[in-house]
Amino acid sequence: MYVELKHINKSFGSFRASEDISFSIEKGRLAALLGPSGSGKTTILRMIAGLEAPDSGEIWINGQLVNEVPGSQRGIGFVFQNYALFRYMTVWDNIAFGLEVQKKSKKEIRERVSELVGLVGLTGLEKRYPSELSGGQKQRVAFARALAPSPRLLLLDEPFAAVDAKVRQELRQWLKGMIARVGITSIFVTHDQEEALEVADQIIVTNQGRVEQIGAPAEIYLKPASSFVARFVTGVPAIEGDWRFVGFPEPPAGARALIRPEFVEAFRPDNEKYKALLDGAQPGVVEDVSFRGSHWEVTLQTGNASVTVRRSLQRRPVARGDILQVVIYRLYQLAPDGSIRLLENKALEGRYIPED
């Protein structure tokens, strides 16, 4: 493994920022530290960078124990949330800065900066200052500057937080492709579930200073190891109180339900296409309809709870107050102790589930 953390602990006074953190990352992989604010992800990144020292445990990079190695000697490139560009330096000079610190020759600096300017798509902007750049362009300069000294590991702290939604979407794909081309092992911190699922090869989910789950994006999403992971990664609120749904056993005391939109189907009673699903259906009243560009998002009240379903634009429109038949294919049952079970609708066993 290229990066390994073994039983890392870190406290700030009485606050336990990291508790028995252990994980490993293969060479060339892009890993995401995903968690809510205060979950400990940035502390982990800073310890890897050498900006904080763990109270106990070991940090290994490329087979070397780096606990006692100063951050400046760990061969790490760092991209900050707010870019941290030098305001009075041009794009060229910002990218060249680390090479000048390394006392590289003018020829080496010129060749390396030229290479990176082309690589990150900033050709023609070399003489501009940060104030003359867009947010996306600034982030590309920060990325190129971090890569210039040829680090063995790249760390990114909330790299897309300072740009708007459209630019953020573009930067995600750009960053993923760029890191794959460069082949550098990278770790980025984010609290955005969609961002981690879309960009990362590996996700490390953190919560209250501990690692909740480690896995590929699809594994994290499809097989959450705890109720926290299921709730956080999905972004769907858990259903509290007295909930009951057709096809599912009566829930134990204190249990909550988590139902993702893809777990639900809703159709008009006269829809012959879904007739085979009626045994597992129950009536629901449309509470809200929102247009999401590629689909309608429909919220319904059913079984003493609100559920959401994504509805194709090609289907018949629905409006508030309409009564539909609601089928819940499956749900996560969240126990009070934090454990999780995926339950299937027993009334649908052996039934064909049609698609739009």
- Please name the residue that has the structure tokens 């007739």: 275
Query: What element of type H or E holds 190?
Result: strand 185-190
Q: Tell me, what DSSP letter sits at residue 237? A: P
CA distance 259 to 330: 7
- What's the pLDDT tens digit per position in 83-137? 789 999 999 999 999 999 999 999 999 999 999 999 888 999 999 999 999 988 9
CA distance 248 to 329: 10
- The per-residue pLDDT for 197 is 94
- The per-residue pLDDT for 356 is 45
- Please determine, for residue 4, whether its predicted confidence score (pLDDT) is greater than 70: yes
pTM for the full model? 0.89
SS3 146: helix
- The per-residue pLDDT for 351 is 63
- The per-residue pLDDT for 175 is 85
Q: Exposed e or buried b for every residue in 339-354, given b needs 16+ CB within 10 A?
A: ebeebebebbeeeeee
- The per-residue pLDDT for 354 is 54
Rg (CA), the chain: 25
User: In terms of residues, how long is the chain?
Assistant: 356
The rounded mean pLDDT for the chain is: 92
User: What percentage of the chain has pLDDT greater than the value 70?
Assistant: 98
Of the pLDDT bands very low, low, confident and very high (cuts 50, 70, 90), residue 249 is: very high
Q: Exposed e or buried b for every residue in 275-301, given b needs 16+ CB within 10 A?
A: eebbebbbebebeebeeeeebbebbbe
Q: Which residues contact 40 (CB under 8 A, 6 or more apart)?
A: 17, 18, 19, 21, 206, 208, 209, 210
CA distance 66 to 155: 15
Q: Determine phi and psi for 6, rounding to 5 degrees.
A: -125, 110
- What's the pLDDT tens digit per position in 307-317? 999 999 999 99
Give the distance, in angstroms, between the CA of residue 353 and the centroid of all CA atoms in the same chain.
30
Query: What element of type H or E holds 168?
Result: helix 165-182
- Please determine, for residue 167, whether its predicted confidence score (pLDDT) is greater than 80: no
323 close to 267: Cβ distance less than 8 angstroms: no
Handedness of CA 113, 115, 116, 117 (dihedral sign): positive
SS3 205: strand
Cα-based distances in Å from 78 to 27, 156, 304, 340: 17, 6, 49, 37
145 close to 100: Cβ distance less than 8 angstroms: no
